[in-house]
Structure formats: C-alpha cells, structure tokens
C-alpha cells in the first residue's frame, strides 16, 4: 500500500507557485476571502488560506461580515469586490449561516473571479471540457493528486461516493473529460443508491465524499483499488486533549490493508484544496493582467 501524501504534493505546488509569482511584474495577485460567522472549521480554513497566500506572495484580503448579515448586504459586498480591479479572486467560505442562499451567492461572483468554480459559468465550462474557466479547488486537487501519484484514469472504473456541488458532481465531470489523465468510466453513488457496496466494490478508483465518518469499510472495497478520502469528520475521542479526532469517510485501518494507494485524513486531500485555490488565483491574475 502506498500512502498518497497530500502535504508533500501540495508543498511542491506551493513552491512552484512561489517561483511563478516572484517572476510577475506590477501589482501582487490578490484574493478576497469572505467568511460569514464563526463556524470553527471555517475559521481555521480561512486562516490557512490567508497564511498560504502570504507564503506564495498573494495578497489576502480577509472580509468578516457579521453572522446575521442579510442576503442583500452580502450581495452588495460581492458586487463591490467584483468591481474592484485590484481583486483577482473571490472566495466565499462555505457553509454560510442559514439565512443566506449559498447558490445565489456563488452565482453572484464574477465568473473571472470565481476561483472556487461554483458559479454556473465555471461549472458549465467543466461540463464542456473548457479549460479557460476555474475548477472547484477540491476536485481539482483530487485530479492533481491522482496525476502526481501516477494514476491514469483512462479505462478505469471511477466510483464517486457523493453528489455535492462542492466535490461529487465536479469530480465526476473531471474524471469523464476527454483529456490526458481522465477518460474514466464514472459511476456516481449517493444516499439514494440501493445496494451501495455492489457499486463501490467495482471501483478501480474510489472517491469517497459522502460526509459520514468511516462510512467506507473493507467489505466495500476491491483489493488493489486506489482510494481517495475527501471526508473530514470530527469524532469524539476522550484520549485526545481536544476531545475529538479527525477522521475521513473511509475506515482507514481496514481499507488501507486492501488499497494499492490511499489518502490519509488529515494530510490527504485537504492541503491540496488550499494549493489549488492559490493556483486558481494566479490564473485569475494572469487573466486580468494578461501576463
């Protein structure tokens, strides 16, 4: 079994981007990070994104509207950022408080600044195999992890567990694309799938993004499969100082004995998401400055 080390791959990408940004002229690339409310996971993600941006040489502008902000007021902030020529990229951290319509916010982002690729235009470009847009950072990170780990999806059966806008749908579309590294045969499973293990056991590459702690067990995995675990779940653990531990959607102790390659949690897909956000921000900067 080979461990796919997301920290290592992400560090290599960050180093490449740092060198690339050092060679740019004029103003710094800039990303606006909008976080509404104090969701603990969101607080930590945005801090990590801000820190990584600084490391790469990207200006990170953190905007913290109050948790009770109205839809109209948040849309006003988005409109200002869309119109600001000094801002190349905008990320609105999900999940947002309940009073906000996330989809409307994602659609409000200017497509040339929508670096998490969740707006209609950018998702549509993925469906059209059009590289000019932005691909959602987690799915893009998964494809990069597979490519840099020597996993070519051509002719492989890729089973995606989960159909979210954030991961499941875009990663299924990416694996399907008619291009190098992709060309997979894709099955998408979800909470409405009957006899789920019958599908997951057919997977040459299993991408688990269902949001349920240690849901995928050894009896659901074909020996020799490549397993990508997208989940980040907090489960109670009295032996830890924090009182919890982080675990993925895959039961790592048993599945790792069967898999040919597997990502750990933490240290797998997570670091890649941030690295791809930086990559998309540099792409947006080049788009705006034609550098």
Catalytic residue among 88, 93, 204, 279: 93
In a domain, 99, yes or no: yes
Do 109 and 155 fall into the same domain? Answer: no
Residue 116 is among the residues annotated as catalytic for this protein: yes
In a domain, 10, yes or no: no
The pLDDT of residue 117 is 96
Note the helical H segments in 70-167: 71-83, 102-108, 120-127, 137-148
CA nearest 65: which of 57, 55, 56, 73? 73
In a domain, 124, yes or no: no
In a domain, 11, yes or no: no
pLDDT digits (tens, 9 = 90+) for 59-81: 999 999 999 999 999 999 999 99
Give, in order, the Cα–Cα distances in Å from 54 to each of 7, 8, 240, 267: 18, 19, 31, 21
State how far the Cα of 122 lies from the Cα of 178, in Å rounded to an integer. 17
For the cut 80, the answer to whether the pLDDT of residue 99 exceeds it is yes
For the cut 90, the answer to whether the pLDDT of residue 185 exceeds it is yes
What CATH number is attached to the domain comprising 146? 3.40.50.720
Do 153 and 252 fall into the same domain? Answer: yes
Domain limit, last residue, from 97, 113, 129? 113
In a domain, 220, yes or no: yes
Residue 98 belongs to domain spanning: 26-113
Residue 237 is among the residues annotated as catalytic for this protein: no
User: Which burial class, exposed, middle or buried, applies to 28 when counting CB atoms under 10 A from its CB (0-12, 13-18, 19+)?
Assistant: middle
Catalytic residue among 88, 114, 116, 204: 116
For residue 123, name the pLDDT band (cuts at 50, 70, 90).
very high
This prediction has a pTM of 0.95
For residue 290, name the pLDDT band (cuts at 50, 70, 90).
confident
The pLDDT of residue 41 is 85
Catalytic residue among 49, 125, 156, 169: 49
Q: How many domains does the chain divide into?
A: 2
């Amino acid at each position: 079994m080979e461990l796919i080390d997301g920290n290592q791959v992400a560090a290599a990408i960050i180093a490449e981007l740092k060198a690339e940004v050092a060679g740019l002229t004029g103003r710094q690339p800039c990303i606006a990070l909008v976080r509404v409310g104090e969701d603990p996971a969101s607080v930590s993600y945005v801090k990590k994104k801000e820190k990584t941006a600084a490391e790469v040489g990207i200006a990170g502008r953190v905007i913290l509207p109050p948790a009770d902000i109205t839809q109209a007021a948040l849309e006003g902030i988005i409109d200002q950022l869309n119109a600001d020529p000094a801002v190349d990229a905008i990320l609105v951290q999900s999940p947002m408080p309940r009073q906000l319509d996330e989809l409307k916010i994602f659609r409000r982002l200017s497509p040339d600044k929508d670096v998490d690729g969740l707006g209609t235009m950018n998702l549509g470009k993925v469906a059209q195999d059009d590289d000019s847009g932005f691909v959602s950072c987690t799915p893009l990170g998964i494809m990069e992890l597979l490519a840099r780990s020597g996993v070519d999806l051509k002719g492989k059966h890729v089973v995606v567990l989960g159909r979210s806008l954030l991961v499941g749908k875009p990663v299924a579309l990416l694996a399907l694309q008619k291009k190098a590294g992709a060309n997979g045969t894709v099955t998408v499973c979800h909470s409405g799938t009957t006899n789920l293990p019958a599908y997951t056991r057919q997977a040459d590459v299993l991408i688990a993004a269902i949001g349920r702690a240690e849901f995928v067990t050894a009896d659901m995995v074909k020996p020799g499969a490549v397993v990508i675990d997208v989940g980040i779940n907090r489960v109670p653990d009295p032996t830890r100082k924090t009182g919890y531990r982080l675990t993925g959607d895959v039961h790592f102790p048993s599945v790792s004995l069967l898999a040919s390659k597997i990502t750990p949690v933490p240290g797998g897909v997570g670091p890649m998401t941030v690295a791809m956000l930086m990559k998309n921000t540099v792409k947006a900067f080049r788009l705006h400055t034609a550098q």
